[in-house]
Structure formats: structure tokens, C-alpha cells
Amino acid sequence: MRVIPVDKVKPGMVTDRAVIGPGGEVLLSRGVKINGYYLKRLKEIGIPAVYIRDHNIGNVEYDEVISEQTRQEALRVSKDVMDSIRLSSDFDLKKVNKIVDELISELLVSKDLLVALVDMRAANDTSFYHGVNTTVLSVITGIALGYDIEKLGQLACGALFHDIGIIMLPPELLKRQAPLSAEENEKIMKHPELGFEILRKKEGVSLMSAHVALQHHEKFDGTGYPRGLTGDEISEFARLVAITAIYDDLASVGSETSRVLPHQAIEYLTIHSGKWFDPEILQVFFGTIAVFPLGTPVLLNSGETALVTRVNKKFPTRPVVRVFKNRTGAKVFPPFEIDLAKNPAYFIQKILANDEP
């Protein structure tokens, strides 16, 4: 399994993870041979990179934290909710509760897993994909914080719709590339309040969830908006989603060169700890993500080239890697694996570019 930028993908390559389109639909499922037509579509849609199966390296077994089916359903429900709010300012809460319950129960089962894959998507993607990813990251963090089912439900609902206010903004404003005028910026900064109004009015939605929408742009030191709250004045859920939402934007959106690797995201978030983010929640969150996602090609200090094939929750920087090139660059066939947690003399010296298959 290798992450290959779409412009390096060649017809005949086989996907090793489903490719999801901008509407949340499956463009290509796992195990599909890519042909010229598919490749053209991927480029048109702006998918930055895909997971490709590499026969020289062999199969990589992995567990997703949620099933592809549940992810799909969550995307579909989010889309329906947004469409329905646009039309009637209302939505079907039963459907939302059902998918939230499903997400939580799956995440409780996989609580020993790390988020070890990256969801790559185009920069112009609609916000509900971001909502679903943020929800997954938030619930995992909530589980790590010891939340009960009820709290997880409120958190999940808030995370899923933290950006819901955006649909009340003029669509042409959202499509505009930066820089925005001061006036336009001010409009965008209204989305927390707009979202809060939608959720607050909906019967059955917890006020705790609504506050996630209202406060997710507040910053720990009081420099956020809309109200400039500090520390504990911001609800814990909102402090949590402020972290997961930014992390998802950093790690998932954009091209191969503009996306940020998890270890870089950790550095970035930590630098802003105590200023933008709650330090305690941040540390718990770091325990849930893989520093080196599966399929990351790395150079070991031994000079060998390897691929990350299994993550290690206890030692996040010491995954199992599969050596496929020796120190002279010659192919190692069949490859073999080194568990870095058990072999302290070996360490990852560099992350290599996802350039060649």
C-alpha cells in the first residue's frame, strides 16, 4: 500500500483503499484497476492522491477505525441535513441520531486502534466530509478522555455540524479564493452564530452540541471569535473540536505538497498549545493519531528504504516497517519487516516523498 499522488498514478495500478468523491460517493472501491478514464476523472475532481497496491511490497493488512459503509452513511446523512436545511431550515434528527450511535459504537470497538490512514481530498471539497472526519477524531478523543455514551453523542452531533452555519452564507462567497475583503471576512466569521441558531432551535439537539458550533473558533487565550472567551469559559466539547477540526484541515486537505504530515501537525498544534488550544485535551488527542500513517515510505538509519505497515499505539514513532530496498537502492525481494519498537538500534531517519510506486 503506497500513497501515490494522482499525477504519478499510471493506468493499470490497483487501488488499495476506496476513493471517495466530493459528494461522499465512492468513486473507486478497494481493489479496482485504474484505467485511463478513471484517471482522468480523478484529476478532474481534484483528488490529490490515492492508496495504491504495490505487488513488490505485498499486501498490507489494516483496520479502519470505522467501516467504509458507516463512513458513507455519515456522509450521506450530513449531505441530506445540509440540503434539507437549505430548503426548509429543518432536518431529520432521527437519521442523525442513528448514524451518530452507529459511529460511536464502531469507534468504541476500535478504541485500541490509531487513526493510521489519511483521508485525502480535494481543497474545494464540501464541508460535510470535513464534518465526518472531525467527528471521528473527536469521538476517539472523547473516548480517550473517558466520556460516557451520552456525552459522546452530544460531542459527535456538535462535531458533525460544527460548520453547519456555513450553508447560510452566500455560496459565491465560499467559492471565492482568498484574499477576501474585510467585509467578506466579517460575513464568514458569522458562521458560528448562524450554526448555533440552527442547532439551538432544533428540538432534541442538546445545547451542548449547539455550543460546539458557536464556540469552535474561540481560542484558549481569548483571541478567538465570536465572543473572545478564554479557557474554561469555552465549553470542553468546543475546545476539543477546535483541535480536531484544525488537525483534519491540516492533514487531509490539499495536494501532496501542501498537506501536512501528522508529525508536522503535532508540532504545529503544540506550538499553539495554551494559546489556541487546551493543552490537556491536546495531549490526549495526540495519543489517538499515528505519527507515521500506514503506507508512509521512510529511510531508516541503516540506509534501507521501508514502508510503514503497522502502527504501535505505545510507541507512536516506532511502527513496524517493511524493508523493500537495501542501502544500495537494490530491491529486497521478498521484503521483510522490522518492528522498530523491538529494535531500538533502528530508527526512521527521513520520510521520503510519495514519488515512485
Partner 1 sequence: MDVVNDKPEKLNILYLVCSTLFRENNEAAYTTICKEICKELKIHCCSIWLKVTNGQQRLGYFEKDGSPDDLTLSNLDFEISKHIMEQKAPVIKDLPLKAMGIPILYDNSVVGSITCYYQDRNNDGLPEVIKDIATELAFGVEQFKYNFTTARQQNLRKELDTARDIQQSLLPNQMPKIQGITLGARTIPTHETSGDYYDFIITDHQNLGIVIGDVMGKGVPAALFMAIARTVTRSVVRHDLAPNAALSEINSSLFPDLSTQGMFLTMFYALYNPLQKALLYASAGHNPPLILEDSSEKISFLKSRGIFIGGRPKLSYALQTRKLGPGDIVLFYTDGLTEAQNFRGEQFGIEKVAEVLKGYRYCEVPAIIDCLSMRVMQFIGDREQSDDITFVVLKAE
- Sole binder of partner 1 in the list 105, 124, 223, 349 (CB under 8 A): 349
Block residue for cell numbers 471539497: 125
Q: Is the peptide bond before 22 cis (omega within 30 degrees of 0)?
A: no
Handedness of CA 192, 283, 266, 133 (dihedral sign): negative
Q: What's the order of all strands across the beta sheet hosting 2-5? A: 2-5, 49-53, 14-15
239 or 318: whose CB is closer to partner 1? 318
Q: How far apart are CA 186 and CA 204, in angstroms?
A: 31
Name which of residues 243 to 302 contact partner 1 (CB under 8 A). 263, 266-268, 270-271, 273-274, 279, 282-283, 286, 291, 301-302
Cβ contact 142:155 at 8 Å = yes
Closest CA to 133 of 119, 121, 112, 122: 119
Per CB under 8 A, which of residues 295..334 are in contact with partner 1?
Answer: 301-302, 304, 315-318, 322-323, 326-327, 330, 332-334
# chain residues binding partner 1, by CB under 8 A: 46
Minimum Å gap between C-beta 337 and partner 1 is 4
Q: Is 337 in the site for partner 1 (CB under 8 A)?
A: yes
Instruction: List binders of partner 1 among 45-84 (CB under 8 A).
Output: 55-59
Least distance in angstroms from the C-beta of 272 to partner 1: 10
CA–CA gap between residue 183 and residue 188 (Å, rounded): 9
346 belongs to the binding site for partner 1 (CB under 8 A): yes
User: Would you call the peptide bond into 5 cis, given omega within 30 degrees of 0 as the criterion?
Assistant: no
The CA angle 229-233-239, to the nearest 5 degrees, is 85
Smallest distance from partner 1 to CB 335, Å: 6
**231 part of the interface to partner 1, by CB under 8 A:** no
Contacts with partner 1 by CB under 8 A lie at 55-59, 263, 266-268, 270-271, 273-274, 279, 282-283, 286, 291, 301-302, 304, 315-318, 322-323, 326-327, 330, 332-338, 342-343, 345-351
